[in-house]
Amino acid sequence: MKIKILLVEDDTSLGFVISDQLRSDGYHVTLCTDGAEGFQKFNAEVFHLCIFDVMMPKLDGFSLARSIRKINQHIPILFLTAKSMTEDKLDGFRAGGDDYLTKPFSTEELQMRIAALLKRVDIHVNSEEETVLLVGAYSFDTSNFQLKHEKFHKTLTKKEAQILKILCKFRNQVVAREIVLNAVWGQDDYFVGRSLDVFITKLRKYFKEDPSVTISNIHGIGFKLEVK
């Protein structure tokens, strides 16, 4: 299993150059061109390291890092930016970044920064992501979108599966609405918010066979999947 890197860079040419170099170094690279797309990809797959441009459309690199830190406190985040001011770097570290690379930079410097970050977190790339999750008396196959109980079997839609996977990540914790909306739809507005409420209602019905599993609305904040 290769180390998987999420690269979010709105400069298409630079993004292709960096991703090609990293692939030649043996990494598996997913390239996104804006922060919203990057956040969706982060929640859909498992990555070992993130590389974010700072100035991007829809969701800038610092905001993207803050959202990711609400979900994952440990994944290394490297910022790429044209800014070299100390205050800008401090903003990056406050947002949850681990390192900072100022453009233009050499291939060798990027390689060394990545190697240092991966060594720091001691990543074990041979461990596969757990694809079948137990939720009370249910099993949730995240790869095939299958939700099963001895009295119930449902093939979830892609969005239902994405939402449930996020709720499972925050099991017995509150997950903010904006986290789910940005992760699944790539935006946070009234109309997609109403759609989310419909999907939550459907998921509640799917879990009716096990009263120990509940999905609660936390007013003004978000949702909570509880397994008693």
What is the per-residue pLDDT across 33-70, written as a single tens digit (0 to 9) for each? 999 999 999 988 889 999 999 988 888 999 999 999 98
Residue 5 bridge partners (DSSP): 29, 49
- Answer whether 7's CB lies under 8 Å from 18's CB: yes
pLDDT tens column, 89-136 = 777 778 888 998 888 889 899 999 998 898 877 655 544 567 899 999
Average pLDDT over residues 166-194: 87
* 114-150 burial: b if 16+ Cβ within 10 Å, else e: beebbeeeebeeeeeeeeebebbbbebebeebebebe
pLDDT at 211: 94
* pTM value > 0.85: no
End-to-end Cα spacing for the chain: 35
Sign of CA dihedral 113, 115, 120, 124: positive
Helix axes 177-184, 158-169, angle to 10 degrees: 140
Beta bridge partners of 132: 141
Residue range 198-213: mean pLDDT, rounded: 95
Domain annotation for the chain: domains and CATH numbers: 4-121 (3.40.50.2300), 132-227 (1.10.10.10)
pLDDT of 138-160, one tens digit each?
999 998 999 999 999 999 999 99
